[in-house]
Amino acid sequence: MTLALEQTLNGLQFGVMLFLLAAGLTLVFGIMGVINLAHGSMYMIGAYVAATSAEHGAPFAVAVLAGAAAAAVAGAVVEAVVVRRLYGRNHLDQVLATFGLILIANDGVSIVWGRTPLEMKIPDALAGAVPIFDISYPVYRLLLIACGVALAVALAFFVARTRLGALIRAGATHRELVGALGVNIVQLNTIVFALGALLAGVAGALLAPILSVQIGMGEQVLIMTFVAIVIGGLGSIRGAFVGALAIGLVDTLGRAYIPVLLRAVTTPDLADTLGGGLSAIAIYVLMAVVLIWKPRGLFPVSSR
């Protein structure tokens, strides 16, 4: 069952990277009540800046940090200029405004970097493959899994054990109270938003060497991120983790096995398209089922 092992690892890797995006998105929605369609753009900025830094000779770790920092800064700016005015507005307005941000981000990137996809090389030290049982699995993908899990643990620790984390948790459930306690809510919001953008930027930077760094890369992954946080429960980081992993595994294993199963009954190209379609639908079916069973997601955060 070497194929299954490899596919499961692939699914874990995808899921864990998706978590980095989902965590930020769920925090922003859970705490600030804002639907942020431009979250994918932070991911894209992280990837672009990381790739450019690497191209100019920065060592890998520095390039990733640069990408993350750029995304965080972009997030802070976006929050201050646009998102701040969207708190309390209805979701539709937030959708429209953040949709406008996507357009600006995509076009802005094309102005600065042009339309050709960028490349980022995996550092030689990480370029090989290691034997795991019967397969040899790329080192870099193992690193992604490790990074993702490490960041998840760090985030959980941060939210559970630090003062800022406590404020964030409080802000998620009792926003007015936190404000009444004298905490600078405006600053808190900016920090949370920037933190979410940072995580998205890290994901973008880490994935840049294996995916294509191109305009619109954020939107492709954004919709899966939304599905992940809805399954997990809006505002819940634990939910984001479970949701993201579920999606990563269902999507990858689905794409791998559904066409194979279909080949038994139909021609190769039909099996692959149908299989591609069915496995793409799989995550939405999963979400629909979860919502019908638990209308507020798996780990709902009881809100204000």
Partner 1 sequence: MYLATLLVLVAIPILAAIFGQPFWVNAATRIVIYGIVAMSLDLIVGYGAMVSFGHAAFFALGGYVAGILLTNGIDSAFVTWPAAMLAAALLAAGVGALSLRTSGVYFIMITLAFGQMVYYASVGLKMFGGTDGLPVPARSTLPLIDLRDATVFYIVCTVVLVAFFVIASRLVESRFGMVVRGAAESERRMTALGFPVARYRLVAFVIAGAVAGLAGALWADFSRFVSPDMASWTRSGEFLVMVILGGIGSLAGGLYGAAVLTGFESLFSGFTEHWMLVLGIVLILIVLFAKRGIYGVLAGRRHD
Partner 2 sequence: MLQFRAVCAAFIALLLLGTSASAADPVKIGFITTLSTSGGYLGEDARDGFLLAMAEEGGSSLGGVPVKLLVEDDGLMPAKGKEIADKMVLQDKATLFTGIIYSNVDLAVVPGLLAGGATYVSLNAAPSQLAGKGCNKNYFVVSWMNDNLHEATGQYAQTLGFKKMVLLAPNYPAGKDAINGFKRFYHGTIADEIYTSLDQTDFSAELARVRADQPDAVFEFLPGGLGINFLKQFSQAGLKSKMKLVLSAASLESRIVSATGDDTIGVYGTAHWVQDLPYPANKKFVAGFIAKYHRDPTPYAAMGYDTAHEIASGLRAVGGDLTKADAFRAALKKANFASVRGNFRFGSDQEPIEDWYSTQVVKRGGKNEIVTIGKVARDLGNAYTSLCPL
233 binds partner 2 (CB under 8 A): no
**Among 18-26, 110-118, 151-159, 184-192, which window interacts with partner 2 (CB under 8 A)?**
110-118
Binding characters for partner 1, 206-245, by CB under 8 A (x = yes): -------------x---x--xx--x---x-----------
122 residue type, one letter: I
The Cβ of residue 54 has, within 10 Å, a number of other Cβ atoms equal to 25
**Residue 213 near residue 51, CB atoms below 8 Å:** yes
Dihedral (Cα; 16, 77, 73, 181), 10-degree rounding: -80
274 binds, among partner 2, partner 1, none (CB under 5 to 8 A by kind): partner 1
User: Three-state secondary structure along 5-73?
Assistant: HHHHHHHHHHHHHHHHHHHHHHHHHHHHCCCCCCHHHHHHHHHHHHHHHHHCCCCHHHHHHHHHHHHHH
Measured at the alpha carbon of residue 162, what is the angle toward residues 157 and 167, in degrees to the nearest 5? Answer: 115
For residue 41, what are its two tokens? 């753009």
**Token pair for 258:** 């559904």
Residues in 19-38 that interact with partner 1 by CB under 8 A? 29, 35
Nearest distance from C-beta of residue 76 to partner 2, angstroms? 28
Q: Which of 214, 238, 282, 296 binds partner 2 (CB under 8 A)?
A: 214
Q: Which does 35 bind (CB under 5 to 8 A by kind): partner 1, partner 2, none?
A: partner 1
Residue 280 within binding range of partner 1, rule CB under 8 A: yes
- 130 forms beta bridges with 137
Q: Hunting for tokens 């404000």 — which residue is that?
A: 179
Q: Where are the beta strands (DSSP E) in the chain?
A: 129-132, 135-138
> Any contact of residue 285 with partner 1 (CB under 8 A)?
yes
Q: Which residues of 85-112 are buried (b: 16+ CB within 10 A; e: fewer)?
A: ebeeeeeeebeebbeebbeebbeebeee
Site for partner 2, residues 48 to 107, rule: CB under 8 A:
none
Q: Please name the residue ranges forming H helices in 216-265.
A: 217-232, 237-263
Which residue among 97, 191, 199, 207 contacts partner 1 (CB under 8 A)? 97
Least distance to partner 1 from the beta carbon of 46, Å? 20
Residues that bind partner 2 (CB under 8 A): 2-3, 6-7, 10, 13-14, 110, 115-117, 119, 121-122, 127-129, 135-136, 138, 140-141, 209-212, 214-217, 220, 252, 255-256, 260, 268-269, 272-273, 276
Residues that bind partner 1 (CB under 8 A): 29, 35, 82, 85-86, 89, 91-93, 95-97, 99-104, 106-108, 110-111, 219, 223, 226-227, 230, 234, 269-270, 273-274, 276-278, 280-281, 284-285, 287-288, 291-292, 295-296
